A and B are shown apart, each in its own frame.
Chain A
C-alpha cells in the first residue's frame, strides 16, 4: 500500500483519487493515519486535485488536536490503495534507524518495524532497478447473470455483483439484455488476474446472492 511518492505530483494524484469517495485516510473519523499522510505532504495540494485539497484543509483544521486523534501513526506504506507502493523520500520518520542496515538490527523491539521498512525499501530498489512490470496473465470475462423473474430488481442485482471485491478482480461496464418474457439478464464485463481469480470463485460468490441471482454463465472469455 502507499501513494507512490507523496512529494511528487503523481503521488498527490494517487492520493486525490483515493480521497474522492473518502473523508479520511482510514475509517470515518480523523486519526493518526490522516496525520501521518498530512505530514508527508509539503504544501497544500493544487486546486485541480480538489479531493486531496478538501481533505488537506479539513485535516489542517485539526492541527491543534492532532496528538489526541485516535490510532497510531504507521509508515506511509500502510495506507492508501493496495496496488500502489510508497516511494516517498526519507522525511517520513524522524527516527534514524531507517537506513538499510546490512547487518540487521540489534534492537529487539524495533526489529519488526525496521525489518519491514528495510524489506519495503529493498523491494522498491529491486523494482526500480528492473524497471519492468511483472507480466501478469489476465483475462477479460463477460458474465451473464440471470435473475429469477421479470420482477427482480436488476439495479440491486447489479449492485450485489459489483460489491464482490477480490484481489485481481476489476469490474467493467455492464448492460441489461432482454431474454424474453420481460426478463432481462445482466451482462457484465470483468478483468481478472488468472492466478488470483477464477470463474468458479466468481460463480460461487455471484450465485450466493440467492434472492436476486438464479444463475451465472460465462458468455465470453478472452485472454488479454
Chain B
C-alpha cells in the first residue's frame, strides 16, 4: 500500500511529496499526477517512481532482464499479495528457492526493483519462519539476508536473523 510506496520513495532518494489515494474495495493505490487522472496500480506506480528517480537500471537493462523483473513484479501482486494460506506461502518459498539456486539476485547478476518489492512483500513471511524452515529454503534465506543488507532497503523494518551454523545439512 502507500506505506510501502513511501519506503520505496525513500530508497530511491526521491524528495517525497507525492500524493497517494486508494481506489475501490481492494484499495488499489492511485498516484495523483499534475496532468491527468492519476496512475493506478501498485506496480505501475512503483515503476514510475523508479523512472522519476532516474534509476531505470532497476527495471533491468537487457530485454531478458526487463522481462524477468516484470515477471517477479507480477508474481508479487498476484501470488504474494493475492494468496495468504500456509500452502500458498510454501509454494512461493519453493518457487523462489528453486529460482535463486543459480542467481544472486532475482534478475541474475543485477539488483532490481524485483528484489526490492519481493523483499518488502515477503518480509512478514520471513520474520515468522523457524530455523529449520530458513535452512530448508536456503537460497531464499541467502537472498533475503543479502537484500536486507543492501543500503537503503531495510529502513525501519526489522532485521531477520539468519544463523550461520548450518545444522540440518542433509537438505539440498
Instruction: Name A's B-contacting residues (CB within 8 A).
Output: 17, 20-23, 28, 50, 53-55, 57-58, 61, 155, 158-159, 162-163, 165, 170-173
Contacts and interface: CB of A to CB of B under 8 A. Distances in A.
A20 B100 CA distance: 11
A171 B165 contact: yes
Given A21-B138, A28-B149, A57 B102 contact: yes
Contact of A61 (B109, B138, B164): B109
Nearest to A160: B161
Contact of B150 (A28, A53, A58): A28
A219 B46 CA distance: 54
Contacts of B164: 21, 165
Nearest to A55: B104
Contact of B146 (A23, A61, A171): A23
A59 to B, nearest CB: 9
A173 B132 CA distance: 10
A172 B167 contact: yes
14 contacts: A20-B142, A21-B141, A21-B162, A23-B104, A28-B149, A57-B102, A57-B109, A155-B131, A159-B131, A159-B161, A159-B163, A162-B165, A165-B165, A171-B165
Contact of B102 (A53, A158, A171): A53
Interface string B119-148: 000000000001100000010011101100
A54 B101 contact: yes
B111 to A, nearest CB: 10
Contact of B166 (A21, A50, A57, A158): A21
A170 B163 CA distance: 12
A21 B165 contact: no
Interface of B: 101-104, 109, 130-131, 138, 141-143, 145-146, 149-150, 161-167
Contacts, number: 54
Contacts of B101: 50, 54
Contact of A20 (B102, B138, B161, B165): B138
B68 to A, nearest CB: 15
Nearest to A48: B172
A58 B146 CA distance: 14
A186 to B, nearest CB: 12
Given A54-B101, A58-B104, A162-B165, 15 more contacts: A21-B138, A21-B142, A23-B104, A23-B142, A28-B149, A53-B102, A54-B102, A54-B103, A54-B104, A57-B102, A58-B109, A155-B131, A159-B161, A163-B163, A172-B167
Contacts of B141: 21
A21 B109 contact: no
Contacts of B167: 162, 171-173
Q: What are the 7 tightest A-B residue pairs by CB atom distance, in nearest-first order?
A: A28-B149, A61-B109, A23-B146, A58-B104, A54-B102, A21-B142, A23-B104
A203 to B, nearest CB: 19
B122 to A, nearest CB: 17
A50 B101 CA distance: 7
A53 B102 CA distance: 7
